[in-house]
Every structure is written in C-alpha cells, then in structure tokens.
C-alpha cells in the first residue's frame, strides 16, 4: 500500500525570495507522495484575470496527473493575469523537477 504524502502550502509572490523559498522546499522538505500547494494572494493593485492560463493548468508532477488550479469566487472582480503569471513561473519549477503541485489564487487586502 502506498503511503499518503503531506500537503505543503507555500505562499508565493513575485519576489526572488519567494522563488528561493520554493526551491528550498523542493530540495529540502518535499518527499515522494507529497503535494505542494502554491498560493498567491492578489490585491486589487495586481490587476489579474481569474481564468487559468494553459501553461500552469497543464503543468504537473509525476504523481499528480491533473493538478488543480483554482481561483476564489471573490477573485472574479479582479483582473488576475499578473497573479497567474506569478503562479505559472513557480509552477514551472515544480514541473521541471517532477514535483506534484496545485496552484491557488485568491484575493486579499494588504493590512
């Protein structure tokens, strides 16, 4: 029987530090059967389109044949293209390393 892996959530933004944190997670934390959940919180200033692009929607690791890519319901009023680009770039890191992942976009306010 195959053991069930962990679900590891990673907050992502456009910064180099975010990419480095994901690289660290993939190299030092990720184990077979785990699934990384890439989360980006878009602000009204992000101007993004809530529909997923083909690039990230098609990306997946070897143990995740159909990665989920979701946007929250409140994301529909925000133009979310920039935010999906953030997730696409980081999803590519996962695909390149055969890491199972899902991508999630939601909205929020900076406090």
Q: Which residues share a beta bridge with 41? A: 106
pLDDT band with cut points at 50, 70 and 90 for residue 72: low
CB-based contact 70:104 (threshold 8 Å): yes
pTM for this predicted structure: 0.69
Q: How many helices (H) and strands (E) does the chain have?
A: 3, 4
Residue 76 CA to residue 29 CA, distance in Å, equals 33
Residue 85 CA to residue 69 CA, distance in Å, equals 13
The mean pLDDT value for 68-85 works out to 59
55 has pLDDT over 50: no
Decide: residue 78, CB within 10 A, 0-12 exposed, 13-18 middle, 19+ buried: buried
Q: Which residues share a beta bridge with 9? A: 37
């Amino acid at each position: 029987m195959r053991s069930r892996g962990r679900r590891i959530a990673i907050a992502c933004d456009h910064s180099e530090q975010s990419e480095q944190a994901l690289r660290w997670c993939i190299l030092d934390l990720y184990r077979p059967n785990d699934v990384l959940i890439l989360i980006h919180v878009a602000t009204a200033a992000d101007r993004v389109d809530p529909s997923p692009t083909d690039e990230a929607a098609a990306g997946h690791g070897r143990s995740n044949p159909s990665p989920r890519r979701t946007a929250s319901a409140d994301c529909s009023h925000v133009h979310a293209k920039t935010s999906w680009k953030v997730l696409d770039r980081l999803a590519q890191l996962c695909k390149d390393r055969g890491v199972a992942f899902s991508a999630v976009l939601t909205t929020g306010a900076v406090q």
